[in-house]
Amino acid sequence: MSNVDLTQLPAGPTIKGKLSRDDVIMRMGMGVIALYLIVTLAFPLWAMLSKSFSTFKFDLAGYELQVSDEDGTYSGEILTPELLNSELQVLTDNDLIAGSDSRLGLTPFFPDFSFRSPVKYQIRNTTDVGRFLVGSELKTGTEWLELDSNTFRRVQMRPVKATGMGNFINYFSTPALFNSIKNSMLIAVISTVVTVTLAFWFAYALNRTCMRFKGFFRLVAMAPILVPSLLPGIALVYLFGNQGMIKELLFGASIYGPIGIVIGSVFFTFPHAFIIISTALAISDARLYEAAASLRSTPWRTFWTVTIPGARYGLISAAFVVFNLVITDFGLPKVIGGQFNVLAVDIYKQVIGQQNFEMGAVVSVVLVIPAIFAFAIDRLVQSKQVALLSARSVPYQPTPNAKTDGIFFTYCVLVALFIVGILGVCQFAALIKFWPYDLSFSLTNYDFDRMDGGGWGSYYNSIKLGLFTAVAGTCIVFFGAYLVEKTNGFRLGRALFQMFAMLPMAIPGMVLGLAYIFFFNNPSNPLNMIYGTMAILVICSVTHFYTVSHLTAVTALKQMDREFESVSASLKQPTMKLFSRVTVPVCLPSVLDISIYLFVNAMTTVSAVVFLYSPKTSLASIAVLNMDDAGDIAPAAAMGMMIFYTNALARIIHLIVSKGVLKRTQAWRAR
Amino acid sequence: MTEATATPASYLSIDNLWKAFGDFLALKDISLNINEREFVCFLGPSGCGKTTLLRAIAGLDLQTKGRVVQGGKDVSNLPPSERDFGIVFQSYALFPNLTIEKNIAFGLENTGRSKSEITSRVAELLQLVGLPEQGKKYPAQLSGGQQQRIALARAIATNPGLLLLDEPLSALDAKVRVHLRHEIKELQRKLGVTAVMVTHDQEEALAMADRIVVMNHGVIEQVGSPTEVYRHPANLFVADFIGEMNQIPAIAGASGEVTISSTKLQSQRHDFNVGETIVAAIRPEDVIPHGDGARSPGAPDEIETPGNAFEVDVSEMEFLGSFWRCRLQHKMFGTGELIADFSINAVRRLDLAVGKTMTVELPQSRLMAFVPAGDAS
């Protein structure tokens, strides 16, 4: 077409639209929420990334020294620590690698040093960036400073900061560290294969057979979502640990390590895989099966040529979601991993155990890579999934078949037994006085105030966190999604916002938590005051679970007529009136879904908050971790089950409220 | 092409409007005047720019260049909320969770009207669109036609100076559509509001509009009353898009003459040079059927222009309810056919049937000459 010729356009400025008050308000609102995402996501991640590249090293050539004789006269000979070290070999190159807080005294370079000696010393930096301490006083500049012997022993060099790959080189030359990559990949891949296989047949049974009790099985399959990922670890300790109930079944293998991690991972990722695959199987088209049957295809062949291809996007998506969950999970390998190191636990060990924040940042960067990769593929696949569903599709209706129904029923019973069994063991353990010696029932394990971990206070803190996260998060997420969907023009801003909204899903909780330390615990950050408060936990949780909530909101908003805003503007009504009178009420079911999602996840998360809680804001999920760490496994199980019951109750309340609210506000849905 | 006589009562004027989407030009130098109380239809195939033009008038998608003046005020860069119009969309865009009453009252709130004023205005509007009993229902409980009437009531509730209708009838059944287009036209006349409607349905445009703006590829092809546009299409595109048209390759003769494969026919006056390649065109209903005695002077159906009459073979007949569509063959048309619509009466009178030979006349006043498609400047 001849349409590409923009030179046809007459000269002169392009019409610039005047912004209406609503446009201004909406852009400002979007700016505020974008700023929220930048401050709570982009800045912390940037702080972490720059931390991983900052290395510290003592620069021996950075100082010059003069030593007097006993009368206090100087020969004029100028020494450097570098020179002295090459003569004396006091320090190896490895000793010069430092952390941000390292110090190094100068006296080892003078073998005949005595603090009582009348010898005097002069010292100066050779460059403006050089620094050393005299006691606790920081000295910079290239002026000579004269010190007596007694003061000279309190002189300490400070490392020079540089940017480079040093930390990464260090990481990859330490087998104890980089072996974790292999370990993490291994358990993630095995868990993915097992979970997806189990979940596929479970979803198949629920969608494609006529077995009974489908509702019950669906409920059971969803239960693991309500507990922290480390709870199955505790159950496995009771079942297969050193004093386990049925440890003989492992034939001498230890549950502490990959076996335990895989079994636990299957438990806590099962519902995620199940939902995705079940959705994929539910939308299949009956006409394809009729065609296959009319062509006399065997059931086996139909399965491979119709069922599997139809569900392939669901399967791929489920696989990457599970992979991501397992590789980024921290709680489970912490509880049952034993000596088997994985990346997420390495971050924890580096930061909490060794206070090596730079190395923690390096492991975080290493962990983010597969996480982002899995996330990107999942997004790609999900965007293709939609196209499969056409308006003409006829839903598949399974026909009863006593034999297959029986087989699948048995299978589902076994899977349900596994899930209920894990939860049951935890509840049983919580009620037993002292396994395995005193099997009488008691409630002593619920006396959390007598254990490490913050007591009942941490449980109430968790509920507070859940409620705050649900309320604040739902408001921020839904409002943000509305603005990004309905703001006029402003393309670039909206695209950037979308990108930021998708990012949290690719960032593991541990990484986000660590990034928060770097960013918010920096004394020069004005937001430093929220460090150690409930506020930072709420912010971290909202940001960590932003993406799924955002997508839920966007899906609901996309179903709204695009012209509502146009109509409202033509009637000269403020957009915010439309938002509160129409948009929110119509989207209320999704709003409630977002809030329950945020509540349940804030209750169960460990990884996102493990670096950020303070003694005053300890949480139930953290208490489970800490009590388990301290050997109080039974109380840990008891607390874990408290989380389960709380979440189950929250779900039930959500269900009742949704029904009630729907009845009252959604009367228009009924024809 | 564009309207030459801008009347002083112009209410909405569009000056040299351009719209670019990336490097695609959706509107190219559109100028148009719309008079007060006038009902104007933008008509054209999908993608011709008619909706883009409507949205530019509303301020929903701002034009790249050019001016829009409404009621003497330059509104070129104003947001929709600062312009004066009501709008109805194909999807109705009724708020699903509000009752019919509340939908209509939506724009009346915050305008200084009291509660009782609003209630009585809503009742009045419901009466006006013929749905007085439905106020308490929700949109989903009404039929499509009823919903569109509510959308119309909501759009006119605040007495806007301009009513914009974006394919308002496209989502409705054929029967409802015919009924509702009459009602909308009636309402517009009663309220005296200036209206602009976008449609791709020529029948709708012909039935409703005071003036039709025919658009194609981002430019206006013709502006005129329904009869003007139908009777005197400005070019082959308009001729072809509105109604049916036989198109016959021809050579221009002197003004008032065209030559179709060496047969010279009398036609309307034209400005082509002798020997230019043109398209001769005539509407099927303008082809006149003649009986055997028509060539003799004084016959009841005497041929007006003997040179334009010739014998054809009836190769196909299709019964379309109120008339017969016939395909006629003559060596003049080569492998092509002449399509003619004959009344049931004429078919009976002349005893026409497939395979018969008959005489037809292409009346001089209805035979037009156009620039061939693709050669258009």
A388: confidence class by pLDDT, cuts 50, 70, 90: low
In the chain, the amino acid numbered B278 is: I
Query: In the prediction, which pLDDT does A517 show?
Result: 92
Token reading at A325: 């969950």
pLDDT by residue (tens digit) across A154-190?
Answer: 888 888 888 888 888 888 888 888 899 999 999 999 9
Please indicate, yes or no, whether residues B141 and B275 belong to a single structural domain of this protein. no
- Chain B residues whose CB is inside 8 A of the A573 CB are 106-107, 109-110
Please indicate, yes or no, whether residues B229 and B258 belong to a single structural domain of this protein. no
Query: In the prediction, which pLDDT does A127 show?
Result: 86
- Chain A residues whose CB is inside 8 A of the B218 CB are 3
On whether residue B310 sits in a domain, the answer given is yes
What does each C-alpha distance from A603 to A535, A618, A642, A653 come to in angstroms?
A: 15, 12, 10, 16
Smallest Cα–Cα separation from A624: which of A434, A431, A458, A444?
A458
On whether residue B129 sits in a domain, the answer given is yes
**Which residues, 6+ apart, have CB-to-CB distance to A578 below 8 Å?**
A564, A565, A568
Query: In the prediction, which pLDDT does B198 show?
Result: 96
Please indicate, yes or no, whether residues B191 and B280 belong to a single structural domain of this protein. no
Among B239, B270, B302, give the residue marking a domain's end. Answer: B239
CB contact under 8 A, B154 and A8: no
* Interface contact A7, partner B, CB < 8 A: no
Would the pLDDT of B118 be above 50? yes
The DSSP line for A476-528 is HHHHHHHHHHH--S-HHHHHHHHHHHHHHHHS-HHHHHHHHHHHHT-TT-GGG
- Chain A residues whose CB is inside 8 A of the B107 CB are 570-573
* Interface contact A9, partner B, CB < 8 A: yes
- B210 versus A112: which is more confidently predicted? B210
Please indicate, yes or no, whether residues B81 and B202 belong to a single structural domain of this protein. yes
Query: In the prediction, which pLDDT does A1 show?
Result: 43
On whether residue B257 sits in a domain, the answer given is yes
Query: In the prediction, which pLDDT does A390 show?
Result: 54
On whether residue B2 sits in a domain, the answer given is no
Counting the structural domains of chain B, the total is 2
Query: In the prediction, which pLDDT does B241 show?
Result: 93
B4: confidence class by pLDDT, cuts 50, 70, 90: very low
On whether residue B5 sits in a domain, the answer given is no
Distance CA A61, CA A79 (A): 10
Number of A to B CB contacts under 8 A, please give it.
126
Distance CA A57, CA A107 (A): 19
Question: Across residues B306-330, what is the average pLDDT?
Answer: 91
Looking up tokens 């309402």, which residue turns up? B187
Smallest Cα–Cα separation from B376: which of B272, B260, B182, B236?
B236
Closest residue to A586, CB basis, from B16, B97, B107? B97
As a three-state string, the secondary structure of A64-133 is EEEEECCCCCECCCCECHHHHHHHHCCCCHHHHEECCCCCEECHHHCCCCCCCCCCEEEEEECCCCCCEE
Among B174, B206, B239, give the residue marking a domain's end. Answer: B239
On whether residue B3 sits in a domain, the answer given is no
pLDDT by residue (tens digit) across A621-638?
Answer: 999 999 999 988 999 999
ipTM: 0.84
CB contact under 8 A, A9 and B65: yes
Query: In the prediction, which pLDDT does B3 show?
Result: 45
Question: Across residues B166-194, what is the average pLDDT?
Answer: 92
**Which site among A2, A7, A15 would you substitute to test the B interface, given the most B Cβ atoms closer than 10 Å to its Cβ?**
A15
Question: Average model confidence (pLDDT) for chain A?
Answer: 88
Tell me: cis bond preceding B306? Omega within 30 of 0 counts. Answer: no
On whether residue B136 sits in a domain, the answer given is yes
Among B210, B239, B268, give the residue marking a domain's end. Answer: B239
Please indicate, yes or no, whether residues B105 and B253 belong to a single structural domain of this protein. no
Please indicate, yes or no, whether residues B268 and B235 belong to a single structural domain of this protein. no
Please indicate, yes or no, whether residues B116 and B223 belong to a single structural domain of this protein. yes
Please indicate, yes or no, whether residues B185 and B297 belong to a single structural domain of this protein. no
- Is residue A309 within 8 A of residue A340, CB to CB? The reply is no
| pTM of the complete model | 0.85
- Chain B residues whose CB is inside 8 A of the A671 CB are 140-141
CATH code for position B15: 3.40.50.300
- Chain A residues whose CB is inside 8 A of the B110 CB are 573-574, 577
Would the pLDDT of B239 be above 90? yes
Would the pLDDT of A4 be above 70? no
Distance CA A566, CA A573 (A): 10
* Interface contact A6, partner B, CB < 8 A: yes
Query: In the prediction, which pLDDT does A149 show?
Result: 87
A288: confidence class by pLDDT, cuts 50, 70, 90: confident
A70: confidence class by pLDDT, cuts 50, 70, 90: confident
CB contact under 8 A, A3 and B141: no
The CA distance from B12 to the nearest CA of chain A, in Å, is: 17
- Chain B residues whose CB is inside 8 A of the A586 CB are 96-97
Question: Across residues B322-337, what is the average pLDDT?
Answer: 88
Distance CA B144, CA B169 (A): 9
* Interface contact A11, partner B, CB < 8 A: no
CB contact under 8 A, A571 and B138: no
Please indicate, yes or no, whether residues B113 and B254 belong to a single structural domain of this protein. no
- Chain B residues whose CB is inside 8 A of the A12 CB are 65
Question: Across residues B153-174, what is the average pLDDT?
Answer: 93
Distance CA A70, CA A121 (A): 11
On whether residue B377 sits in a domain, the answer given is no
Report residue A135 CA to chain centroid gap: 42
Would the pLDDT of B377 be above 80? no
Looking up tokens 């998506």, which residue turns up? A317
Residue A104 dihedral angles phi and psi, to the nearest 5°: -145, 125
What letter does residue B287 receive in the DSSP assignment? P
Closest residue to A572, CB basis, from B59, B63, B81? B81
Please indicate, yes or no, whether residues B292 and B366 belong to a single structural domain of this protein. yes
Least reliable range by pLDDT among A109-118, A217-226, A420-429: A109-118
CATH code for position B254: 2.40.50.100
Closest residue to A15, CB basis, from B65, B83, B218? B65
Please indicate, yes or no, whether residues B250 and B336 belong to a single structural domain of this protein. yes
- Residue of chain A whose alpha carbon sits nearest to that of B142: A671
CB contact under 8 A, A671 and B140: yes
Residues of the domain holding B137: 10-239
Q: What percent of chain B has pLDDT over 90?
A: 75
Please indicate, yes or no, whether residues B223 and B272 belong to a single structural domain of this protein. no
- Is residue B16 within 8 A of residue A10, CB to CB? The reply is yes
